[in-house]
Amino acid sequence: MSLKDSNITKARRLTFQYKDTNIKLISQYTIDKVIPPTSSLIKSESKSGVWYEITDAQQNIIYNRGIPNAIQTDVEVFSNEPEEESIIRQNVPQIEGTFSILIPDIPEAKSLSIFSNPIEKGKKSLQKSATKIFEMNLNGDNIQ
């Protein structure tokens, strides 16, 4: 089953805490909400960025979405000097924080995986493909 065109009205909001690419689920609850359709179901090899995938019991990807700015390695800094570049990106001193995602709350969803580019020297390495950094069984057991 593809969830590309479905109108799913039940969702789970999962909140994660991270330090570098070490991720821990800290809360989850079910809500009534129409969630966006799945992104293109592309194999994860050679992809870049941060995203999550929901798979069924046969490990088929049934839903995925990008998570822009989930793991922040830098922030925008604005200059007070008129002659200087007005906005620059600056690395954060510690890569840690929280983010939340919405996933479909459907019976065929069995596992959740989160992917990210590796973090090297305090920055995401966009020259290397993303890898799986978190996995959990959606029946409740964390299988990291």
Q: Does residue 126 belong to any structural domain of this protein? A: yes
Give me the count of residues in the chain: 144
Full residue range of the structural domain in which residue 94 is found = 10-137
What is the pTM assigned to this prediction?
Answer: 0.78
Look up residue 58 and give its DSSP letter: T
Is residue 84 classed exposed, middle or buried when 0-12, 13-18 and 19+ CB atoms within 10 A define those classes?
Answer: exposed
Whether 108 is in a domain gets the answer yes
Q: Does residue 104 fall inside a structural domain?
A: yes
Does residue 1 lie within any of the structural domains?
Answer: no
CATH number at residue 57: 2.60.40
45 located within any domain:
yes
In-domain check, residue 142 = no
Q: Per the domain annotation, does 14 fall within a domain?
A: yes
The total domain count for the chain is: 1
Token pair listed for 14: 């999962």
The single residue listed with the structure tokens 């057991």 is 141
Sign, CA torsion 42/43/48/49: positive
pLDDT digits (tens, 9 = 90+) for 73-121: 888 888 787 777 678 888 888 888 999 999 999 899 999 999 988 776 6
Q: How far apart are CA 119 and CA 47, in angstroms?
A: 15
Structural domain includes residue 144:
no
